[in-house]
Amino acid sequence: MINHQTLASLTGILGSRLVTSASDLALHGRSESHFPPMPPDAIAYVHSTQDVQDILCLCNQTKTPVIGWGTGTSLEGHTAAPQGGLCVDFSQMDQIITISPEDMLVTVQPGITREALNMALRDTGLFFPVDPGANASLGGMCATRASGTTAVRYGTMKDNVAALQVVLADGTIITTGSKAKKSSAGYDLTSLMIGSEGTLGLITELTLRLHPIPEATSAGIVAFDTLHQAVDAVTQTIQMALPMARLEFLDAASIAAFNAYAGTDMPVMPHLLFELHGSTQSVAEQAELFGDICAELNGHDFKWSSKTEERTALWTLRHNGYYAILASRNGARAIVTDICVPISKLAKAVDDTVKDIDASGITGPILGHVGDGNFHAILLIDDTNTQEMDLAQQLSDRMVQRALDLGGTCTGEHGIGLGKRKFMEREHGPAWDIMTTIKSALDPNNILNPGKVIK
């Protein structure tokens, strides 16, 4: 809760940019996933680092919870306000500060979305590669250590943030990292902030690594008789170090949903979608090599193309995957699971998950970034049916247990938020206590996104 005096002081700082209208609170309390609404008490539409500093100084004194907000596309209840408090909405702090093409870096405010960023970069010959699917804000992507389809080639947010400006709980402004490509100068606070989900500080500026737009891009698709063959193709490809730019798995149920959604007639069996970036010659060479790997595993209907329209059609399919699957059951909501396992355990993890879902009676197509060992089941539920909700939650929990048993992690890219906190002890053991120790040292009043990530 925010008391009246704090609210008055916040209005003093922000004027009409401090909002408490019921509709706006409701909007900032809901989630794209299955969590019940948990609205904040007020929303601050910040315009500057100074705004954020002023807010945090005040909220730290008054022990008011502060929750960062980008575009609200996170999936584990990261932006929920279970204790109320102030939502700091960065959507109006969305400017590009500097583009440094020579250093292949760009410095941005946290509210810019990845599509807006890449649009602004289009004349530089450079792009920012991390693509979690949703048109998320860069601040949010950094806070959750997002990744997505291109991580297999370009890495995750962890690999693509050079420097940060962060406002800490007490209003201290720090900068971490630099524009130098590497450094051994002390603790890596940049990496500590990436993935801390707004519990250690609020990101007010990001310097991001850019990559040259490839001379050529080829994309393709291939079908397999069995899930095992598809996964084996992935494993072999990764082990040969073929530089796939994207490598996505879609199970037969996902393909059926696509066919129904988009009127396509792909064979209803497991597929791999892929993309390659490089010179005209190298993408052709690599597509052929990948084709050879697939052929050895009875892959069929192998198609690839370097033509923009054909590539776009293919990836539109993938990007609409979530909606196609959602549409396959009228009025359904989805629990989107997210695990990541060592690549050697991928076949077993997918296999056991499919069997478990099949036995449960829940519909749950599987797709994912298998080049990284990361995949999702999209569990379709009627969220008014508690039995179904429970069944789906149990399925999701068993997926995590399976991932941990196989040496993997409870979340490859969605983060902890509220939803995965129950697995932190099991995954990290005493290292979770250390996270809590760090949190307490940096935010002794526990005002930053309380109830998330740590104990």
Residue number, 84 or 140, with CB nearest to a second copy: 140
Residue number, 2 or 410, with CB nearest to a second copy: 410
| Residue 308 in contact with a second copy, rule: CB under 8 A | no
H or E, element range at 386: helix 386-405
Residue number, 12 or 212, with CB nearest to a second copy: 212
State the minimum distance, in angstroms, from the CB of residue 448 to a second copy: 13
- CA dihedral for 118, 122, 123, 125, sign (positive or negative): positive
State the minimum distance, in angstroms, from the CB of residue 211 to a second copy: 7
Residue 272 near residue 234 (C-beta atoms within 8 A)? yes
State the minimum distance, in angstroms, from the CB of residue 403 to a second copy: 8
Interaction with a second copy in 312-341: which residues (CB under 8 A)? Answer: 340-341
Interaction with a second copy in 112-171: which residues (CB under 8 A)? Answer: 144-147, 151, 156, 158-159, 168
State the minimum distance, in angstroms, from the CB of residue 220 to a second copy: 20
Q: Which two tokens stand for residue 315?
A: 């990836």
DSSP per-residue string spanning 37-105 = P---SEEEE--SHHHHHHHHHHHHHTT--EEEESSS--SSSTT--TT--EEEE-TT---EEEEEGGGTE
Interaction with a second copy in 209-228: which residues (CB under 8 A)? Answer: 211-212
Q: How many residues are recorded in the chain?
A: 455
H or E, element range at 302: strand 300-305
Interaction with a second copy in 188-207: which residues (CB under 8 A)? Answer: 188-189, 191-192, 194-196, 200
| Residue 438 in contact with a second copy, rule: CB under 8 A | yes
Per the DSSP assignment, residues forming a β-bridge with 244 are 276
Rounded to whole angstroms, the maximal C-alpha distance in the chain is 70
User: Please, which residues have CB within 8 angstroms of residue 394's CB and are 6 or more apart in sequence?
Assistant: 360
User: Please, which residues have CB within 8 angstroms of residue 228's CB and are 6 or more apart in sequence?
Assistant: 347, 351
State the minimum distance, in angstroms, from the CB of residue 386 to a second copy: 28
| Residue 50 in contact with a second copy, rule: CB under 8 A | no
Which one of residues 172, 280, 298, 385 is an interface residue with a second copy (CB under 8 A)?
172
How many residues bind a second copy, per CB under 8 A? 87
Cβ atoms within 10 A of the Cβ of 159, count? 14
Choose among 290, 292, 280: nearest CA to 246.
290
Residue number, 14 or 141, with CB nearest to a second copy: 141
Which one of residues 48, 95, 264, 344 is an interface residue with a second copy (CB under 8 A)?
344
Cβ atoms within 10 A of the Cβ of 344, count? 12
| Residue 454 in contact with a second copy, rule: CB under 8 A | yes
Residue number, 116 or 343, with CB nearest to a second copy: 343
State the minimum distance, in angstroms, from the CB of residue 260 to a second copy: 31
State the minimum distance, in angstroms, from the CB of residue 409 to a second copy: 4
| Residue 105 in contact with a second copy, rule: CB under 8 A | yes
| Residue 403 in contact with a second copy, rule: CB under 8 A | yes
Interaction with a second copy in 355-394: which residues (CB under 8 A)? Answer: 372-374
Query: What gap in Å lies between CA 85 and CA 70, rounded to an integer?
Result: 16
Is 243 strand, coil or helix?
A: coil
Question: Which one of the spans 64-72, 180-188, 307-315, 359-367 is the region binding a second copy (CB under 8 A)?
Answer: 180-188
Choose among 135, 161, 158: nearest CA to 147.
158
| Residue 70 in contact with a second copy, rule: CB under 8 A | no
